[in-house]
Amino acid sequence: MLTLALVIERLASLRERKVAPARLLDEVLAIARNGLPNADLVAQLERNSALGEVLASGFRALHANPRCSESDLRAAMEGAGRLVAHRLQRYLSALATIASTAPLLGLFGTVVGMIEIFGSQGPVGPGANPAQLAQGIAMALYNTAFGLIIAIPALIFWRYFRAAVDGHLLTLELASERLARQLNSGRALE
């Protein structure tokens, strides 16, 4: 159940329109060509998406100090990017932990079941029941199967989300780099 909840939450949170809407960068660059946007527009941009939050941090740095250096501008956007990256990676370690421990828990259940089965069986001879032993072994092996049923999808989704987060972070980094270049070139012309 926890794996399913984490997968649904991450699917909802890592949608492209929530992280980096397609035309947002172009709109922001067009606005930035005409000068710095006002504080209300920056606040609206910040609430738009993760990309908007990173880009808004650059505008906020320039609003706070119009003469800030290029390195200070980039540092402001990198700081916002680190916070966004942390949010994008949320719950991925939990999903990875589930993927790696579920087979071990299944194996543990199998071992305990096998110990119990062999402990409950009498000595080999007329009192031993091979059908009961086979049924007990089958039940113990179900534990391993259930562990794998949980682990395999968890691992697949963890890898999928890991790649999605890496792609989003690259998009955010490249977008903030483009905005920083445009803001610095615009300030150089002033």
Above 70 in pLDDT, residue 159? Answer: yes
Domain ranges of the chain: 17-90+166-189, 92-161
* C-beta separation of 151 from 102 below 8 A: yes
Give pLDDT, residue 128.
Answer: 62
Residue 41, judged by CB atoms within 10 A of its CB (0-12, 13-18, 19+), counts as: middle
Closest CA to 91 of 169, 1, 170, 13: 13
Give pLDDT, residue 124.
Answer: 57
Q: How far, rounded to the nearest angstrom, does the alpha carbon of residue 185 sit from its chain's CA centroid?
A: 34
Distance CA 120, CA 136 (A): 10
Cα dihedral angle (60, 16, 89, 148), rounded to 10 degrees?
180
Structure token digits, residue 41: 């527009």
Structure token digits, residue 174: 């490249």
123-140 pLDDT tens trace? 655 566 677 777 878 888
Instruction: Specify the pTM.
Output: 0.81
* C-beta separation of 98 from 3 below 8 A: yes
* Confidence label for 67 from pLDDT (cuts 50, 70 and 90): confident
